[in-house]
Structures are given as structure tokens and as C-alpha cells.
């Protein structure tokens, strides 16, 4: 009797721990779960599905306020190990995996950017803009981003110019996920008209989301859309107008999201579905089940379901995750992408940068079809620091 009671108590404690773990992971889930459940699964494409795989990185060499030798070691490892790992892989176009380095303005150091720019010049990615700020003002934001744009372009050959305006264009990821002052406590931003400011400064699209389980996550999920800023309220990108074939740009900023949802094929304790939020690191490695889920989510421009965009993210300079991002797990991820999603019949794989994602989206919006490889530079040209293929 006592043994039976202890067994029941043990099972009860285990279940309680499972529920607690789920509750911690699922906090703020009410923000996005309804939209996720209501979202219609994309209709199957009539021909091969082209998979645009984009890896964006909150690349922070000074993460943890480490000393300069540690920063150098982090950047040097990326420049050596990523080149070695990525060189072993190719997509349908003969392109190596592309890494989009969203570099934080507040951590700028010339020698780090020189090394990353050299890696990009060898054909392994492109540089974009990342920013952590708090209690900011529009005036300071303009000065910060405008100055960083010019510095990256003039000193490191990053960023391209808009052919219509001649202005520098950049992709953006907001530090601490807090785009447009979206945290409930108002921290890590402070600006309610950030979408307008980004547009005026030349931002072509934001790549911050998904941010679950943070409360900065939007109600709109698994979408590519235009957000319209309300300069008097935060989190104006909570909803928006989907980008569609034959449509026209609207609002202030394009939002490009990565997959978010419940992955029933990858369950905790064999029971509870994991929340898939596109994050890749040691604690959540890029398994085959996750890759299948990313592709199956089917993020696309409305009216062009055969062009699927898979955008995943990481914080690449944290030592605990580097073996995952630069070693066997990342190598296996690319091998699986190339074997399962590049047969030329059912799927065609394209490794793309954030800028190329934007260009291919704009091509779809303009009614282009066929092979998206033709539209990598459709709207914004390749920056000097990126090698042509």
C-alpha cells in the first residue's frame, strides 16, 4: 500500500513538473495561439516547392561584456569554422549556406567588422543592422542608425543603395525583441514611432520575429506583411496587411517572420508538443523534425505558395552554442536540407541572405514566378562586401 502510494505521488510530482515546464515555456502564448490555430494551411503547389533558407544572426561579439581577447576569439572562430563547414554544402544554384550577420551598433569594433566583411566577400553572407537601446528618443535613433549605416557602407562595403532613391538600405533586427516599444514594461526601446523612423532611414524589412515566449511576440504569425505605425502607441506591427502577388506596398515597414507554432512531431516527455520559435542553439538544435516543421509551415507571399521562406535565427557568438552552429549539428542540418529538400522534383533549395529574401518577396509581389534564383537582386543590388556567384 505504501509502495503504491509513493508511486502515485511520484507520478503526480512528475506530471506537476511537466505542467510547470510547459507553463514557463508557454507564457504569453495567448498573444499568438489564436492566430496560429486559425491560420489556414497553404494549398499544395502545382509544381516543385522552392525553399528559401535564411539564417539570421543576432551577432554580438561583446555579449556578456567580455574582454577584447574573448571577443576576438569568438569572431575568429566564426571566420574559420563557418568557412570550413559551409564550404562543404551547396544549394540548387551552387551557392554555399548564407549567414546574415545582424551586427549591433553599440558593439562596433572595426577589426571585428573587417573580419566578417572578409568572410562575406568570400561568398558566405552579408552584414545587416542590429541595435540594443533603452529609453531612446527619435532624434538619437536617427543619429545612431544613420551614422552606423554610413560607417558600415563606407568602411566595410556593407549595405546596398536603393536604385530609386540612392539611399542606403538595410535589414533590421531589434535587440531584446522590442521592436516599436513592444515590451509590456516599456524597456529596451522607448520609441512608439520606430517603424516610421526605420522606413525613413532606409530599412527595407524587419527580421526580428518570432520572439515567443516574450510578450513582444505579435498576434500575427507565420506571415510576411506590411505594418502601419501608430506613432502614439507601441507595437504597431502586431497586425498588418499580408504581402500578396499583384499587391502594392502599404504602411511603413515590411515584417518578415520565421516559423512559430506547435510541433506535434517533436514532444517533451513524448506528450507535450514543443513550441517552435525558429531559434537554433545547443538547447534547441536543428533536428530533422524541426526542419520538416519549418518547411511545412509554408510561410509565403499570398498567391505564390510554391515559394516558401524559412527564416531561422540565433545568437551566434555565445560559446555554449558555437559547437551547434559551427559543428556537426549545423553540418547535419545542411546535409538534410540538401537531401530532403533539393531533389529538383518536389523541392528546390536556395540558400539566401536577408536582402535576397526581401528581393524575392518583392519579385513575387510584382507577379514574377518560376525560379526565384533569378530574383536574388531584383530590387536591391548586392553590396560590395558580398561576393557574386
pLDDT digits (tens, 9 = 90+) for 183-212: 999 999 999 999 999 999 999 999 999 999
260 pLDDT higher than 50: yes
What is the structure's pLDDT at 385?
76
Domain coordinates in residue numbering, the chain: 1-28, 32-375
23 pLDDT higher than 70: no
- pLDDT digit string, tens, across residues 236-256: 999 999 999 999 999 999 999
24 pLDDT higher than 70: no
265 pLDDT higher than 80: no
**CATH for 32-375, options being 3.30.420.40, 3.90.70.10, 2.40.10.120, 3.20.20.370:** 3.20.20.370
What is the structure's pLDDT at 273?
82
Q: pLDDT band at residue 84, thresholds of 50, 70 and 90?
A: very high
For the residues 360-374, what does the mean pLDDT come to? 98
What is the structure's pLDDT at 2?
52
Phi, psi of 239 (to 5 degrees): -140, 175
- pLDDT digit string, tens, across residues 279-292: 999 999 999 999 99
Amino acid at each position: 500500500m505504501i509502495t503504491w502510494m509513493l508511486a502515485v505521488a511520484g507520478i503526480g510530482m512528475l506530471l506537476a513538473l511537466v505542467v510547470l515546464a510547459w507553463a514557463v515555456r508557454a507564457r504569453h502564448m495567448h498573444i499568438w495561439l489564436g492566430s496560429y490555430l486559425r491560420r489556414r494551411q497553404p494549398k499544395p503547389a502545382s509544381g516543385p516547392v522552392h525553399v528559401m533558407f535564411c539564417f539570421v544572426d543576432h551577432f554580438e561579439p561583446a555579449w556578456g561584456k567580455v574582454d577584447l581577447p574573448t571577443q576576438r576569439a569568438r569572431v575568429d572562430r566564426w571566420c574559420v569554422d563557418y568557412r570550413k563547414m559551409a564550404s562543404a554544402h551547396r544549394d540548387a544554384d551552387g551557392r554555399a549556406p548564407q549567414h546574415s550577420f545582424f551586427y549591433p551598433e553599440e558593439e562596433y569594433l572595426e577589426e571585428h567588422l573587417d573580419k566578417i566583411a572578409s568572410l562575406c566577400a568570400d561568398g558566405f553572407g552579408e552584414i545587416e543592422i542590429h541595435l540594443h537601446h533603452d529609453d531612446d528618443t527619435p532624434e538619437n535613433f536617427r543619429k545612431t542608425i544613420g551614422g552606423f549605416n554610413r560607417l558600415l557602407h563606407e568602411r566595410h562595403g556593407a549595405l546596398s543603395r536603393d536604385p530609386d532613391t540612392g539611399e542606403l538600405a538595410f535589414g533590421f533586427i531589434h535587440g531584446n525583441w522590442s521592436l516599436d516599444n513592444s515590451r509590456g514594461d516599456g524597456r529596451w526601446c522607448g520609441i512608439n514611432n520606430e517603424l516610421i523612423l526605420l522606413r525613413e532611414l532606409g530599412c527595407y524589412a524587419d527580421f526580428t520575429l518570432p520572439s515567443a515566449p516574450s510578450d513582444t511576440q505579435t498576434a500575427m504569425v507565420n506571415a510576411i506583411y506590411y505594418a502601419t505605425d501608430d506613432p502614439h502607441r507601441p507595437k504597431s506591427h502586431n497586425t498588418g496587411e499580408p504581402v500578396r502577388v499583384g499587391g502594392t506596398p502599404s504602411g511603413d515597414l515590411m515584417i518578415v517572420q520565421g516559423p512559430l507554432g506547435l510541433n506535434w512531431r517533436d514532444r517533451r516527455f513524448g506528450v507535450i508538443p514543443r513550441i517552435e520559435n525558429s531559434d537554433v542553439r545547443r538547447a534547441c538544435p536543428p533536428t530533422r523534425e524541426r526542419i520538416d516543421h519549418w518547411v511545412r509551415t509554408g510561410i509565403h507571399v499570398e498567391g505564390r505558395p510554391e515559394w516558401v521562406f524559412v527564416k531561422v535565427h540565433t545568437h551566434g557568438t555565445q560559446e555554449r552554442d558555437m559547437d551547434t552552429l559551427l559543428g556537426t549539428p549545423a553540418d547535419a542540418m545542411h546535409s538534410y536540407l540538401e537531401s530532403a529538400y533539393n531533389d529538383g522534383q518536389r523541392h528546390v533549395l536556395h540558400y539566401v541572405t536577408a536582402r535576397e529574401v526581401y528581393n524575392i518577396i518583392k519579385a513575387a509581389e510584382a507577379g514574377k514566378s518560376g525560379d526565384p534564383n533569378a530574383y536574388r537582386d531584383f530590387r536591391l543590388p548586392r553590396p560590395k562586401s558580398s561576393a557574386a556567384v
